[in-house]
Amino acid sequence: MNPSQVEQLIQKLLQEIDPQPQREGLVDTPHRVAESYAKLFSGYSIDPSSLLTFFDSEHYDEMITCREIDFYSTCEHHLLPFYGKAHIGYIPSDKIIGLSKLPRVVEVFARRLQNQERLTSDITIFLDQALGAKGIGVVLEATHLCMQARGVEKQNTIVTTSSFRGLFKNNMNTRNEFLSICLNR
């Protein structure tokens, strides 16, 4: 992403939206938006594989979960934010991942133009391939500003998506254990 190009485009956009695009409150807006977009879309410049560290599973074969992972993303349909919590679980086969790596993986994929369904799948597919685990489960719960500030204008709507592989998909007891751990508060 070229910040100066983004600034020029935002300046043009402001000229279309506001009859006084040179007023004090808007003068530095193109620069601020370019800096904001650099963070919001930083996931494109990061290879999630580079974040991973693995350890021998030490024969640990029970479910590992990481829940309540905050994330912020941008809806590709309206360029408005959606945000929420991600919950991830897996059953290792021969290796485990460093615990901080699960939130980092969520961050990389969330910091791209997304829809919630693809974000859920991206995280699941990546972790499934990286871990070779016996099973993976990912659940995302999110609030979408495109549903709050425009369109249906419902303020308290939460969208939940899920994706499962291996034992989480094929064994209802495993899936239910994961969902019980992650969604019971």
Identified catalytic residue from 116, 141, 177, 182: 116
Identified catalytic residue from 35, 76, 117, 129: 76
Identified catalytic residue from 107, 114, 144, 177: 144
> What whole-number distance in Å separates Cα of residue 45 and Cα of residue 108?
9
- Domains belonging to the chain, first-starting first, are 3-40 (no CATH), 50-183 (3.30.1130.10)
Identified catalytic residue from 22, 35, 68, 77: 77
59 a catalytic residue: no
What pLDDT digit, counting tens, does each position of 79-109 carry?
999 999 999 999 999 899 999 999 999 999 9
Residue 123 has pLDDT above 70, yes or no: yes
Identified catalytic residue from 11, 31, 78, 148: 78
182 a catalytic residue: no
What pLDDT digit, counting tens, does each position of 12-21 carry?
999 999 999 8
77 a catalytic residue: yes
Identified catalytic residue from 7, 75, 141, 177: 75
What pLDDT digit, counting tens, does each position of 13-63 carry?
999 999 998 999 999 999 999 999 999 999 999 999 999 999 987 889 999
What's the mean per-residue pLDDT of the chain? 95
The share of the chain scoring above pLDDT 70, in percent, equals 99
For the chain, the DSSP string reads --HHHHHHHHHHHHHHH-S-TTSHHHHTHHHHHHHHHHHHTGGGG--GGGG--EEE-TT--S-EEEEEEEEEEEETTTS-EEEEEEEEEEE-SSEEE-TTHHHHHHHHHHSSEE-HHHHHHHHHHHHHHHH--SEEEEEEEEEEHHHHTSTT--TT--EEEEEEEEHHHH-HHHHHHHHHHHH--
The pLDDT confidence band at residue 154, using thresholds 50, 70 and 90, is confident
Instruction: Give me the pLDDT at residue 57, please.
Output: 77
